């Protein structure tokens, strides 16, 4: 561990006063705790989700749990599986002013048993976990560039367990819930790394970083009404796995560090120090996910599926 890594304290983040971050899927799980940690450090956080009631409950929980925080939380409806919702949310964010970072966290962790498609015609898990974030990051690229901002893509250690090359990312053939999840995370990681290459080549002052939460479970996480309410049985099962799991709060640590640590560089990956759990440390994506040829192929797939071309030239200016 480097001296810089040893110095990082997830309980005492840098002062984020004056900074604004958008967190997708922030009404529960990792997104909620990342939002809470950012607000506690003084940031203005735009919490997003697709359910207005759950989103309101999450914002109320932040206020109740952090009564003395100097940061603020506001809400914005956003369904990453719906490209119309993504475009509308991005337009609202641009109108609200500056943006220092995007935490692209929202996703389906437990995919449906059978393949489903969105109204845009994309496979549901890919659309929610990857395509919606690709479209959102592209729509907000110039806003991020104005603040020399950062985007963080949520990867998964599952991509090192099941090394799927997403040659059929829409899973027209051989759909399974596990394949849908792993391939969506492989696409997310590959596209996040490809974004870094393209941003550098275009000289756009925005960094693209990957982060993963290890093995973080609801049953090992504090109960919060309307945000995290695991059953007794769920807590029992998750606690049986205590040596290899951690709470969602701790799982958010690498995500937040990837988003706000000034020493983090584009193209890096961050995760728990012990892979499944622990303080955040630099990690390494699986080798095949780093191949530029795969990045090029999946980038073009995302452009076609979302009808979004990132405005690199406008962002550079």
Give me the active site residues, please.
181
Which of 87, 88, 99, 96 is CA-nearest to residue 23?
99
Which of 260, 256, 261, 258 is CA-nearest to residue 269?
258
Distance CA 171, CA 173 (A): 5
Is 94 in contact with 140 (CB distance < 8 Å)?
yes
DSSP states along 137-182: HHHTHHHHHTTT-EEEEE--THHHHS----SSTT-SSS--HHHHHH
Is 152 in contact with 103 (CB distance < 8 Å)?
yes
Which of 264, 224, 241 is CA-nearest to residue 101?
264
Is 46 in contact with 100 (CB distance < 8 Å)?
no
Please enumerate in sequence order all residues whose Cβ is within 8 A of that of 264, keeping only pairs 6 or more positions apart, or say none.
Answer: 150, 207, 209, 257, 258, 270
Query: Helical H runs in 243-284?
Result: 248-260
Residue 289 neighbours by CB distance under 10 Å: 27
Please enumerate in sequence order all residues whose Cβ is within 8 A of that of 218, keeping only pairs 6 or more positions apart, or say none.
Answer: 29, 228, 230, 234, 238, 248
- How is residue 292 written in tokens? 């530029």
């Amino acid at each position: 561990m480097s001296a810089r890594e040893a110095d990082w304290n997830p309980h005492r983040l840098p002062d984020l006063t004056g900074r604004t971050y958008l967190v997708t899927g922030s009404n529960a799980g990792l997104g909620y705790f990342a939002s809470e940690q950012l607000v506690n450090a003084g940031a203005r956080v735009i919490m997003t989700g697709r359910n207005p009631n759950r989103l309101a409950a999450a914002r109320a929980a932040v206020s109740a749990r952090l009564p003395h925080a100097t940061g603020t939380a506001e809400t914005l409806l956003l369904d990453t599986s719906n490209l119309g919702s993504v475009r509308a949310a991005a337009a609202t964010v641009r109108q609200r002013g500056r943006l220092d970072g995007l935490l692209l966290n929202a996703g389906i962790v437990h995919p449906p048993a059978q393949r489903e498609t969105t109204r845009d015609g994309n496979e549901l898990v890919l659309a929610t976990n990857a395509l919606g974030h690709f479209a959102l990051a592209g729509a907000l690229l110039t806003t991020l560039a104005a603040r020399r901002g950062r985007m963080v893509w949520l990867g998964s250690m599952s991509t090192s367990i099941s090394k799927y090359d997403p040659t059929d990312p829409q899973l027209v053939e051989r759909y399974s819930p596990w394949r849908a999840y792993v391939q969506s995370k492989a696409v997310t990681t590959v596209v996040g790394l490809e974004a870094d290459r393209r941003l550098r080549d275009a000289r756009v002052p925005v960094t693209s970083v990957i982060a993963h939460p290890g093995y973080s479970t609801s049953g090992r996480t504090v109960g919060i009404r309307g945000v995290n309410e695991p059953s007794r049985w769920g807590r029992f099962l998750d606690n049986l796995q205590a040596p290899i799991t951690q709470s969602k709060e701790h799982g958010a640590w690498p995500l937040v560090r990837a988003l706000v640590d000034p020493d983090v560089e584009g193209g890096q990956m961050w995760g728990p120090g012990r892979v499944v759990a622990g303080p955040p440390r630099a990690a390494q994506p699986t080798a095949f996910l780093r191949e530029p040829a795969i990045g090029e192929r999946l980038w073009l797939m995302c452009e076609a599926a979302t009808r979004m071309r990132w405005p690199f030239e406008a962002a550079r200016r």
